[in-house]
Structure 1
Amino acid sequence: MSRPGTRRDAQERRDEPPHDRTGIREWVDTLPADRPDRLYATFDTRVTSVRHLPGSAARGPERALRRAGHRTVIHAESFYVSDVEGPLVPDEESRAREWCDRLGRTVADVWARP
């Protein structure tokens, strides 16, 4: 979860005009106190050429949500893409659909509870 200064530095290195978009770290900090009707799930994509790198861009936000008292309903997941802009590698689409199906069933189960 990058910080605003880190994002600004990256923009400057790429000669991009600066922008002040909200990052996920700041977004989590703005969430109101947890309510039972707010459920969260995180995922990320990874380029296959760097598949061996450890870590996950989805796990940091998942931990931040939990530390802030919010409820995540399914574990973070990483899906692999063939290049920075996609597409998903061949078997990943079915794996992503299965994860989404599991997410949907979990959310339906949570909402069905009295």
Structure 2
Amino acid sequence: MPGRKANSSTVICDSSADIAEMAAISPSHAAARAFSSNAWLGMSETHMGVSSVVKTALLSGLIGWGRARRMLLLGETIGAREALEWGLLEKVVEREELDDAVAG
């Protein structure tokens, strides 16, 4: 996705991301997950009528079944601040500060 970089220890995003992919990159796998304040997360698979059983199970483990159902059944998206509150992200900063936030 545009504006998204990932490696084995860091995920940074300044536009959008698939929340199921974020679930697959759990806290034990990513040392830092930082998004800009204007980024959003959603289940892109939901809008296509397809979903991953594995990613769905991981997502519900991270954010709970109630929140996961909203994402899976209704196709809701959430902003970076809400994702931070839910524990999916570790940092939310302004776009200009994103690289610095991850670097140090």
Q: TM-score, normalised by structure 1?
A: 0.26
Q: Which has the larger radius of gyration?
A: 1
Bigger strand fraction: 2
Q: Which has the higher contact order (CA 8 A, sep 6+)?
A: 2
